[in-house]
């Protein structure tokens, strides 16, 4: 049993698991950490980036959030031998030419490799959306956060998704429905499984994502990624054209969906399969006017609904054009969906920062005056740099302390409520030490208090804006339900 790093990343990056190297806010590189894999480098597998080279061996075992410095890597004999041919000539057919090229590359690498740094962060749907290999347009975080909240997706729910595309929405959906792996009763206790769980506890329904994709290579690639990410027990990917073949699975009790998300070119053509009872021929005609009626329903097959009959079903369709919206809304109305409305997300990111503090402003600390001469200006700059260095080292100290506490907690050495004193960790700091630290912190912080606080809207936000149509299909209401309601609430 190995938990998915998306759902339970632990405190540190581990070998054979996915980690994300964050170079800048929106520049992320996903990598399955394989420190011992065959590679062109003496260091094993290496991520080469514009900010330098990061051997996987320097990433494995690091606490998530660590700032990792780039390394100078050694292409060593391995890299060169790969290029060289047995007869002593290189692939270009000229002896020595590729050697020169390799040597040049090494020099450039050596000069630049150690210049940068990156942060090692755990995979999450958000970091995955920013770093995944795009095979299609994807749904971005501002949209899927809103969609999952409007669909009221909760742990234990079942959600249908079509088309799955690059799997951006899939990863967000699986986190939203996760309430443990099938066969595991209590996600907070991975050692407890269905057999060892107390008998009296009612067996819960595990959350699940049922994804459909009709482009076969895309469906296959997503299946591989989902398996690599440890999410296979929670996500069922089916290669299928949902317009003609719908959403039912071989297991007749699945998907049993509570929520549906359709990111398809013609969502109205899939709606006839998302009903509780067989749709009338008038409804079929209205929902799928573009395709021949004989393919809209197979009369020889008994009708099965993919929806959970015990709950209202919520749907969201995602379409870039208003014409698609009107056709979808019309089909939804015809098939009995209620509370239909449309939303467009216009997310904006605000950059909030302090204005750069110029030398004259720096003078505020030195008596509100401009520096008298070059020496004074240099001295003030050094002062600023010194305080910045103190600030960063304090930040680092804090981060390390948090990690130490997390480790100690994991080992069971610190109980809840012990965090403040840190007594059980044997870390004793005198009052004077604590005062000195606070003083240094206040002084360092003052650097960032200077300069006016300004904000501006960032011009470009990575999002594929579309119209979101939402609707609800009421739950089934039988004679028995009515009887029960009467007994409960009176006539
Ligand atoms: N939501 C996805 C994501 O976040 O990565 C992106 C979906 S992409 C825009 C649309 C996908 O729908 C494509 O991969 C396409 O192959 C698939 N598709 C189109 N028509 C389909 C159909 N009839 N049945 C199943 N999938 C379909």
- DSSP characters for 417-455? T-TTT-GGGT----HHHHHHHHHHHHHHHHHHHSS-EEE
User: Mean pLDDT over residues 238-248, rounded?
Assistant: 96
Ligand 1 pocket, residue 162 CB under 6 Å: yes
Apex 199 CA angle, 194 and 200, nearest 5: 125
221 in ligand 1 pocket by Cβ < 6 Å?
no
* Average pLDDT of the segment spanning 93-116: 51
Q: What is the pLDDT of residues 57-98, one digit of tens each?
A: 999 999 999 999 998 876 654 444 333 333 334 444 344 455
Distance (angstroms) between ligand 1 centre and the Cα of 216 equals 11
Residue 119 has pLDDT above 90, yes or no: yes
- Place 4 in a pLDDT band, splitting at 50, 70 and 90: very high
Residue 273: per-residue pLDDT = 94
Question: Within 13 Å of residue 207, how many CA atoms lie on the same side as its CB?
Answer: 21
Report the pLDDT averaged over residues 362-373: 55
Confidence (pLDDT) at 417: 44
Could you give the CA distance from residue 91 to residue 75 in angstroms, rounded to a whole number? 18
Ligand 1 atom index nearest CA of 135? 14
- 320 to each of 9, 129, 141, 316, how far by Cα in Å? 35, 19, 17, 13
Q: Is 243 in the pocket of ligand 1 (CB under 6 A)?
A: yes
Give the model's confidence band at 381: pLDDT under 50 very low, under 70 low, under 90 confident, else very high.
confident
**Pairing state of beta strands 158-162 and 208-213?**
parallel
The protein residue whose alpha carbon is closest to atom 18 in ligand 1 is: 163
Q: Which of 45-54, 72-81, 408-417 is modeled with the greatest confidence?
A: 45-54
Please report where in the chains the tokens 């399969």 appear, as a residue.
273
Mean pLDDT of the chain: 80
Q: Does the Cβ of 167 fall within 6 Å of ligand 1?
A: yes
| Pick from 157-166, 211-220, 346-355: least confident | 346-355
Strands 208-213 vs 235-239: parallel, antiparallel or unpaired: parallel
In CATH terms, 126-191+203-347+465-489 corresponds, of 3.30.360.10, 3.40.50.150, 3.30.930.10, 3.40.30.10, to 3.40.50.150
- CB 261 near ligand 1, within 6 Å: no
Q: For the residues of 310-336, what is the DSSP string, one character each?
A: TS-EEEEEEESSHHHHHHHHHHHHHTT
Enumerate the CATH 3.40.50.150 domain ranges in the chain, comma separated. 126-191+203-347+465-489
Q: Is the pLDDT of residue 9 over 70?
A: yes
For 31, the 3-state DSSP assignment is: strand
68/113 Cα distance (integer angstroms): 12
* Residue 27 CA to ligand 1 centre (angstroms): 25
pLDDT value of residue 201 = 56
Does residue 264 surpass a pLDDT of 90? yes
Q: What pLDDT was estimated at residue 349?
A: 80
314 Cβ neighbours under 8 A, 6+ residues apart: 150, 151, 152, 258, 259, 260, 470, 471, 472
- pLDDT in the model for residue 287: 67
Q: What is the DSSP string of 185-250?
A: S-TT-TT-BTTTS-TTSPPPPPPEEEEEESSHHHHHHHHHHHHHTT-TTTEEEEE--HHHH-S--S
Would you say the CB of residue 139 lies under 6 angstroms from ligand 1? yes
Helix (H, G, I), strand (E, B) or coil at 283: helix
User: pLDDT at position 420, please?
Assistant: 46
pLDDT score for 366: 46
- C-alpha torsion angle, residues 335, 237, 134, 47 (rounded to 10): 150
Which tokens go with 299? 């009369």
The reply to whether omega before 255 is within 30° of 0 (cis) is: yes
The SS3 of residue 260 is strand
CA–centroid distance, 213 to ligand 1, in Å, is 6
**Does the CB atom of residue 136 touch ligand 1 within 6 A?**
yes
| The pLDDT of residue 462 | 55
- State how far the Cα of 69 lies from the Cα of 394, in Å rounded to an integer: 18
Give residue 450's pLDDT band: very low, low, confident or very high (50, 70, 90): low
User: 51 CB under 6 A from ligand 1?
Assistant: no
């Amino acid at each position: 049993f190995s938990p998915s790093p998306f759902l339970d990343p632990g405190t540190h990056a581990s070998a054979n698991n996915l980690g994300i190297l964050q170079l800048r806010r929106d520049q992320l590189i996903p990598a399955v950490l394989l420190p011992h894999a065959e590679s062109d480098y003496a260091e094993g597998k290496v991520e080469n980036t514009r900010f330098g080279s990061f051997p996987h061996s320097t990433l494995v075992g690091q606490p998530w959030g660590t700032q990792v410095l780039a390394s100078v890597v050694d292409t060593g004999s391995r890299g060169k031998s790969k290029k060289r041919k047995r007869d002593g000539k290189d692939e270009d057919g000229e002896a020595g030419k590729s050697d020169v090229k390799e040597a040049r590359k090494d020099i450039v690498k050596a000069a630049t490799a150690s210049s940068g740094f990156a942060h090692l962060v755990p995979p999450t749907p958000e970091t995955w959306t920013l770093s995944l290999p795009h095979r299609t347009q994807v749904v971005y975080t501002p949209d899927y956060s809103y969609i999952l909240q409007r669909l009221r997706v909760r742990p234990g729910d079942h959600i249908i998704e079509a088309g799955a595309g690059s799997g951006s929405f899939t990863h967000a959906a699986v986190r939203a429905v996760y309430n443990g792996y099938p066969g595991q009763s209590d996600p907070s206790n991975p050692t407890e499984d269905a057999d060892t769980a107390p008998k009296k506890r009612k067996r819960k329904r595990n959350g699940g994502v049922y994804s459909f994709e009709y482009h076969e290579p895309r469906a296959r690639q997503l299946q591989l990624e989902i398996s690599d990410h440890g999410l296979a027990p929670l996500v069922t990917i089916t290669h299928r054209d949902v317009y003609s073949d719908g959403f039912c699975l071989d297991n007749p009790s699945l998907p049993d969906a509570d929520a549906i998300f359709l990111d398809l070119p013609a969502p109205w053509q899939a709606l006839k399969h998302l009903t509780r009872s067989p749709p009338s021929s008038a409804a079929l005609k209205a929902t799928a006017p573009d395709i021949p009626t004989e393919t809209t329903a197979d009369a020889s097959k008994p009708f099965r609904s993919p929806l959970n009959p015990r709950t209202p079903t919520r749907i969201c369709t995602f379409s870039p054009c208003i014409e698609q919206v009107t056709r979808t809304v019309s089909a939804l109305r015809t098939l009995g969906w209620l509370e239909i409305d449309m939303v467009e997300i216009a997310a904006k990111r605000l950059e909030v920062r302090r204005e750069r503090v110029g030398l004259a402003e720096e003078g505020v600390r030195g008596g509100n005056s401009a520096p008298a001469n070059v020496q004074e200006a240099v001295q003030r700059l050094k002062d600023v740099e010194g305080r910045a260095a103190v600030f960063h080292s304090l930040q680092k100290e804090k981060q390390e302390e948090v990690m130490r506490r997390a480790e100690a907690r994991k080992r069971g050495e610190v109980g809840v409520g012990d965090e403040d004193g840190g007594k059980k960790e044997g870390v004793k700091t005198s009052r004077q030490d604590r005062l000195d630290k606070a003083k240094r912190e206040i002084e360092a912080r003052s650097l960032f208090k200077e300069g006016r606080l300004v904000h501006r809207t960032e011009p470009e936000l990575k999002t594929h804006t579309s119209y979101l149509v939402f609707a609800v299909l009421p739950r089934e209401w039988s004679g028995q339900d009515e009887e029960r309601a009467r007994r409960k609430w009176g006539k």
